Each structure stands twice: as C-alpha cells, then as structure tokens.
Structure 1
Amino acid sequence: MSPPPVGVLLRRARDGVLDWVRSTPGTHIWLLIIGITSLVIASASAGLEQFLLHRNSSNIHELNEHPIPALLISGFWIERPGSFLLYAVMFELVHANVERWMGSWRWLLTVGAAHVAATLASQELVLLAIEGHQLPRSMTHVVDIGVSYGLAAAAGVLTYRLPSPWRYGYLVGVLLFFGIPLLTGATFTDFGHAIALTMGFACWPLTPAARGQAPAEELPPPGARQE
C-alpha cells in the first residue's frame, strides 16, 4: 500500500492542530495574551519594563491598592520574555491536556482558584515576615507575576489523568520538583507553588473520573482525540 500523498498528510495535521486548539480554547487564549504581554516587555525600555512588572504584580502594595485587578492581571505576565517558549510547551503538555479532559469551566475554576489562593497566601507570608523584621519593607513592592501557580495546580490535577503505573512516577516527579525548593531555603513563591499544587490534588471531585464518566486508565493518552 502506497503512503498517502503529502497534501493529505498536511491536511490531516492541520485538522488535528485545529481540533486540539478548538477543544482547549482557554489554554490558547491565555497563551496568546501571555505572548502579547511578553512582546511588550521585550520591546520596552528598562524603565518602562520595571514599571509594567511592578504595576501588574500581585504584591502587597498592589493588592491593597487594586485587589481585584492585581489578582487577575498578574496571571497574564511573565517576568522573563525569553522563557515564553518554555511556558508554551508547558501549557500544551499540562494545561491543554487538563482542560480537554476536565472541560474548560472546571479547568478554569481549578487554576483560577489556585492562582488566587496561592497569591494571597504567599503575600500574607511576606507580610508576616516584614512585620517580624525578617524581610525589608521594600518587599511590599516585590515583583510577583506569572503563571506558575496555575501551572502547579494543573500539574496536580494531571496526576489523575494519567494511567497506572505512569501516574505514580509522575506523582513522585511533581512532588520532588515542587517539594525540594520548599524544603531547601523556600521563598514565598515556593510556598505559593505548594499551596497551588495541593489545591490541584484537592480538585479530584471535579475530574471526569471522580464523576464516574470514565476511570483514567480507560482514557486515551494525553493529546489523543476523544470521540
């Protein structure tokens, strides 16, 4: 049997990509916005860059001045635009698979709640450290932006998506990745990651497996089309 023509293969690839994007709209809209804000940071002068990073942070100062915008907008920026490609890969591997499996609204509830909770908890830790004279008062203006809290939560939920025995190796890897920094000189960000990861684990009731739709072992591998 001769292989399909190149044009047919290209159309199949195009249709597969379009199907993937249509089934994970939240992930790709979010990624698009991050791409735009990363271009803004990359093209900005040093002074404007620092202004944008601090103005869109969810630090103590911004949370006191603009609590809702600070919580929402901080999730659409990354501090180093050069790391955008890495985040794009992580979004496709983690967020897109979780969104496709759980559905957009449950995925959004999971990562949104984790982002808010981890941000507030980590900044409360910073405030306590400032009041205890363990951190300088300038930390009220620390740059606290990025998508890592949402990624940590999605990484936790993804544990339930994977079939055995891969699930257990993945779980060990995730715990080591987030746990080692927490146990070896943790920063407020490491503390926030731990909160977000825990919330991801706690979102088991939102998964299709918990709702009796199908156990994770019977689902196709991540990225495969589900009929």
Structure 2
Amino acid sequence: MWLAVIALTSLVIALAPEGVDHYLLHRNSSNLYELARHPMRALIGSAFWIENPESLFFYALLFELLHAPVERWLGTLKWLVVVATAHVAATLISQKVVLQAIQDHDVPRSMAHVVDIGVSYGLAASAGILTYRLPRPWRWFYLVGVVVFFVVPLVSSHTYTDLGHAISLLIGLAFWPLSRGKPLEEAGSGGAH
C-alpha cells in the first residue's frame, strides 16, 4: 500500500507543471519551516513522496529487498513501529541539528526550507533490523556492509540526510528485542513464513 501511494505521488510530480512540482515537494517536506507550521502533516506527508519520480523503480526494488522481508518476518504492526519510529526520530534529530547549525551561523537560514522528503529513513531502519533475520556468520558480514554503507557517507560528506540515515540504521538495530523469539527461515524451506 505504501509503495502504491508513493507511485501515485511520483506520478503527480512527474505530470505536474514546472513550479507546481516544487510547491508539492516543499509543502510535503519535513524541513524546519514545515515542521514548525504543520508538524503532523510534515512528518506523515514526507513519508509518501520521493523527490525524483525516475527513481521509483529503485525504491520498489529496495522495498522488496528490505521492507517486505522484515514485514513478513515481524508482522505489519511491528514493522510499522520500527519504520515510523525511525522516520520520525531521524527527521526530528537531523532537523534539530540543522536548526542548531543555523543558530550557530554554520549554514544559511535557507536550510530551513530545503526539501526533506522520502522513504529512505524507513528503509535504513528496515536494513538495521534485518540484521537479526540473518543466520550467523552471514549476519556479521551483512552488518559490516550496512554500517559501511550508511556511515561512510556520513563521515565523508557530513550531510543532514546522511545523519538521518545513520540514526535510522541505529534505531533499526536497537529494535532487536522485537526480533527475539522470531524463528529464522531454514535454508531450503522454500520461501517466507
């Protein structure tokens, strides 16, 4: 359902006249300006848009690789708790860092209006909790891979989005108690349970 809404909003952006597309993205952004004016709309709405409609196929692939196995494994409610917690917490923390940087005159005030939308924080959280789905020793190789994938950009480029991704990954990893008692798929069992 979530991906279907994202496909619909991507179509709207792709078909919108120039200027209207920017308006829609800014209006549904979870940047400082929108969070201050419409916090609930900003937090919820930003989870249903992607900035570049051409990347919809890529997101569909990531949904299938990350969200789908976690949702099947944990159940929809627990998966949604992990993803929503990461989306909200990473957004609020990263935007608090932006606010502090603006107040310290480290970044321009225009940073309060940047487009901050997308599903990537939820994807990072699913990538984190998925660690506990994998049997050892593959779990450790996977964990090193996702940590490198999310931490290297944070260390090298220092963007607020990269900070949000790293926070989301940690939140996904912190939800390991939800994975306790959930059986791992047996090798060769023929599919998901």
TM-score of Structure 1 vs Structure 2, range by shorter chain: over 0.9
The change in CA–CA distance for 1:213 and 1:39 in structure 2 (over 3 A counts) is closer
The change in CA–CA distance for 1:128 and 1:178 in structure 2 (over 3 A counts) is same
Q: Percent identity?
A: 59
Three-state SS of the structure 1 residue aligned to 2:140 is helix
Residue in structure 1 matched with residue 139 of structure 2 by the alignment: 167
Question: Is 1:224 matched up with 2:180?
Answer: no
CA distance in 1, matches of 2:156, 2:145: 17
The change in CA–CA distance for 1:223 and 1:180 in structure 2 (over 3 A counts) is farther
Q: Deviations over 1:5-46 (max 9, x none)?
A: xxxxxxxxxxxxxxxxxxxxxxxx000000000000011112
Q: TM-score, normalised by structure 2?
A: 0.96
Q: Where in structure 2 are the equivalents of 1:50-199 lying within 5 Å?
A: 50-199=22-171
Deviating 4+ runs (over 2 angstroms): 218-223
Q: Deviations over 1:135-161 (max 9, x none)?
A: 111111110000000000000000000
Residue in structure 2 matched with residue 201 of structure 1 by the alignment: 173
Give the counterpart letter for 1:225 in structure 2: A
Three-state SS of the structure 2 residue aligned to 1:78 is coil
User: Would the aligned equivalents of 2:51 and 2:117 in 1 still touch at CA under 8 Å?
Assistant: yes
User: Would the aligned equivalents of 1:150 and 1:196 in 2 still touch at CA under 8 Å?
Assistant: yes
The change in CA–CA distance for 1:205 and 1:126 in structure 2 (over 3 A counts) is same
> Which stretches in structure 2 are left out of the alignment for 5+ residues?
none
> Which stretches in structure 1 are left out of the alignment for 5+ residues?
1-28
Give the counterpart letter for 2:156 in structure 1: T
CA distance in 1, matches of 2:52, 2:82: 25
**CA-CA distance at 1:169 after TM superposition:** 1.4
Three-state SS of the structure 2 residue aligned to 1:46 is coil
**CA-CA distance at 1:219 after TM superposition:** 4.1
Give the counterpart letter for 1:89 in structure 2: L
CA distance in 1, matches of 2:123, 2:188: 20
Give the counterpart letter for 2:141 in structure 1: G
Give the counterpart letter for 2:71 in structure 1: E
**CA-CA distance at 1:62 after TM superposition:** 0.3
User: Would the aligned equivalents of 2:72 and 2:192 in 1 still touch at CA under 8 Å?
Assistant: no
| Structure number with higher relative contact order (C-alpha < 8 Å, ≥ 6 residues apart) | 2
User: Would the aligned equivalents of 1:152 and 1:193 in 2 still touch at CA under 8 Å?
Assistant: yes
CA distance in 2, matches of 1:79, 1:213: 35
Bigger CA radius of gyration: 1
CA RMSD of aligned residues (A): 1.5
